[in-house]
Amino acid sequence: MNRIDRIFAALRADGGRALMPFVTAGDPDLETTAAILPALQRAGAHVCELGIAYSDPIADGPVIQASMARALDRHVRPSEVFDMVEHLRADLDLGLVAMVSYSIIMRIGAESYVARAAQAGFDGLIVPDLPLEQADAVCEAAGAAGLVCSLLVAPTTPDERVERIARRCSGFVYVLGHAGLTGERTRLSADLRPRIEQVRNVTDLPIAVGFGVSGPDQVKQVVEVADAAIVGSAIVRRIEEHRDSGPGRVVEEVERFVGTLAAGL
């Protein structure tokens, strides 16, 4: 069984919920990212979305856009991210999911990309700009390599398309907490609960909610209706704020903040 499936199965058996932090690989540098991953595990996270830097981020707000730009300025390449994960994998129980643009996969080739990701120790992919109509090749390659592949359901996604997206997903379904770009929000969308119920009507897969989940109170609200809360911009902003203080301070601050998020589960 894939590690993501095992994590969600164990949580469901105990009535638990998952915390899924997002960080950009290579921001502020790969060495710091390598130190952040075990810190996330210590803080109580279950799965980490590791963003692969891309010059035209899809649906990312200014905080994550800036982190991607910093990683690209350091010339961080997907192959280096794979090498980092491969070096750490044996010491991590944390699930690892690559958040990657379809353009990167297409340039490398779906089978080649997925094979290298699996070899490195990734457990799955999230491809935010992968059109459903073109998803078969990537999702089937992921499945053949033992990886899960999650697509996104937006607030504006029509009912019939929600069902088709859910059928194409494996591991979990990624539901957007609000329309628009990623970023911190003071409150969650009022229609989140009915949207989650809509997705549950068409799939037994766990449901993870991202976009706008920023603090422990919002994590608590999300996991009252969903199986996992995804937090990105609030973590990435703290990395940016402390990056000039050295990697030790960055890791300490991320671990502290993620621990407060885990307390909301």
Going residue by residue through the chain, which has 265 residues, state the pLDDT in tens, using 9 for 90 and above: 899 999 999 999 999 999 999 999 999 999 999 999 999 999 999 999 999 999 876 656 789 999 999 999 999 999 999 999 999 999 999 999 999 999 999 999 999 999 999 999 999 999 999 989 999 999 999 999 999 999 999 888 998 999 999 999 999 999 997 554 444 455 566 788 888 999 999 999 999 999 878 899 889 989 999 999 999 999 999 999 999 999 999 999 999 999 999 998 9
**Tokens 């164990």 found at:** 10
Structure confidence at residue 187 (pLDDT): 59
> For the chain, give me the number of helices (H) and strands (E)?
12, 9
Give the C-alpha separation, 82 to 73, whole Å. Answer: 18
> Per the residue annotation, which of 5, 27, 49, 253 is the catalytic one?
49
Long-range contacts of 9-18 (CB under 8 A, 24+ apart): 11/46, 11/227, 12/206, 12/227, 16/265, 17/223, 17/226, 17/227, 17/228, 17/229, 17/265, 18/46, 18/47, 18/206, 18/208, 18/227, 18/228, 18/229, 18/265
Beta strands in 100-255 (DSSP E): 124-126, 148-150, 152-153, 173-176, 207-210, 228-231
> Per the residue annotation, which of 5, 27, 60, 255 is the catalytic one?
60
Active site residue 49: yes
Structure confidence at residue 1 (pLDDT): 86
Domains of the chain: 3-262 (3.20.20.70)
Structure confidence at residue 181 (pLDDT): 43
Structure confidence at residue 184 (pLDDT): 42
- Rounded (5°) CA angle 255-260-262: 90
pTM of the model: 0.94
Structure confidence at residue 264 (pLDDT): 87
Active site residue 244: no
